[in-house]
Structure 1
């Protein structure tokens, strides 16, 4: 696993040493960032279900100013810390070991908003509709922000949720789907 483009292009990232996480493939990561970027002039990102932190780190490499990483697994949190220390990104990141709903509630209480929110939960274990409704309820998405959902290709994702509408949806390989909301 590596950073695809930007300041850290080509740098290797450690993956979480467990079978409980599924890193986003380089092919999928590259396609996603070409749709939402491919490069940024600032902005804030939230990487929920962050795993190794690959999506948030890619966003930072491509010009996002800061990123908050959230994961529930201790091994994932350790891996995120190792990756952000290796790339000297500690001053642009925050890392929290908690579940997604608590993290969203805490971010809402802090009055945070994000330009890019990455949702990559374990496939078929979370409702994207409920996750995005919570993001809207806590007012976490910036006015022109986007939410990027990685999901099982067979999973039905609604065309709209609240004020969010699908901007793009693609399938990669036989089992990876990515749907982008704005």
Structure 2
């Protein structure tokens, strides 16, 4: 297991022996962070049920401003601490070793909201999934999330999460082998108009005119003009406004 990209690219990560800890695979992390790439620089990232910390460390490596890790299983916690120490990461994180419940209490006291929440409970722990997702879909949980925040759950590919948890709505699922990633964002009724509509600068494929306002659920492919000096900004805008768009094509 290794860091995929960024500051700590190719650095090896420790993991406990045995099957009690199930780290997110390198391949799945690479896929996840390719999707999240436009959002990562300067983001505030939460890694719940963090295990070895591989996901949160990847976020730090790729430019996250701060990562909050929550883990209370001793073998995983020891590996997480070992990985942070080996990479000499000392300031860009907060580690809560009492578990997710204690971390949610801490997050509720932050002066600024978070941008991305990643949760990876044991696949069989249905109550952990529903409890945590329902929390972030509640009034109290929504107050922790930024206006265009994403909540992402890793789970077994044969398991199906609910389409809605309070204000959180399922927007996208990606399967890879035995694992799957489910993306959640604030439902349309909870979003600001800016989040529901695409930037007028973006050319949407499929017969839609430039400048036409497009609900995020209608977006299937997004085309960006590589000759535009602000194409990287447009890419970020599309990712933020349209988290369920399957792909962004730079043309």
TM-score, with structure 1 as normaliser = 0.91
Work out the CA distance in 2 between the residues paired with 1:27 and 1:45.
20
1:150 maps to 154
Q: Deviations over 1:128-152 (max 9, x none)?
A: 2321121343332221111111001
Question: Partner residue of 1:169?
Answer: 173
Runs of 4 or more consecutive aligned structure 1 residues displaced over 4 Å after TM superposition = none
* Residues 179 and 83 (structure 1), Cα distance of their counterparts in 2 relative to 1, 3 Å cut: same
Structure 2 distance, partners of 1:14, 1:120, is 18
Q: Offset of 1:112 from its aligned partner?
A: 5.3
Q: Do the aligned residues in 1 keep the contact of 2:136 with 2:168 (CA within 8 Å)? A: no
Q: Displacement, 1:46?
A: 0.9
1:79-126 Cα deviation digits (max 9, x unpaired):
111111111211111111112122212321345532111100001213
Structure 2, unaligned stretches of length 5 or more? Answer: 186-251
Unpaired segments of 5 or more residues in structure 1? none
Structure 2 CA distance, aligned partners of 1:108 and 1:134?
11
Over alpha carbons, which structure has the higher Rg?
A: 2
Larger RCO (alpha carbons 8 Å, 6+ apart): 1
Which residue does the alignment assign to 1:101? 101
Aligned-pair CA distance for 1:169: 0.3
Report how many aligned residue pairs link the two structures.
Answer: 181
